[in-house]
Amino acid sequence: MTNTILSSLSPRYTDSSVQPLTSQSDISANLQAASSDETELRDTFGQFVGETFFGQMLSAMRKTVGKPAYFYGGQAEEMFRGQLDQLLAEKMSEASSDSFSDSMFDLFQLKRM
């Protein structure tokens, strides 16, 4: 049964002059799809690296400063500080993560090949 499935998957050519159909438009469509996938992967990689880096940086920064003597929001401020830091990390990542994530992505791509 396995041989039947495998034989049905392999192409059968009765005439040796018959070549698989590969037109220029098929090739360009495949290249465009691969380029689009790489761009999407690069953007996602940059977003992940940037948010991770800036999130850790903000977390470490928050640990070094104490509670302010005035204008301290108490427990509510502590609850929403995490959400604020996450939003700040996202915005900082959008603004400047490309400057250091591009070289990391290139190394990531080399390792995948």
pLDDT of residue 33: 67
Specify whether the CB–CB gap between 46 and 98 falls below 8 A.
Answer: yes
Those residues whose C-beta lies under 8 Å from the C-beta of residue 19, and which sit 6 or more positions away, are: none
The pLDDT score that the predictor gives to residue 61 is: 92
Give the domain ranges of the chain. 79-113
pLDDT of amino acid 102: 85
pLDDT in tens for each of the 113 residues of the chain? Answer: 445 444 554 455 455 555 555 666 666 666 566 677 888 888 888 899 999 999 999 999 989 988 888 888 888 888 898 899 999 999 999 888 888 888 888 888 887 76
Half-sphere exposure of 97 (CA within 13 A, CB side): 24
Q: Indicate whether this model's pTM tops 0.75.
A: no
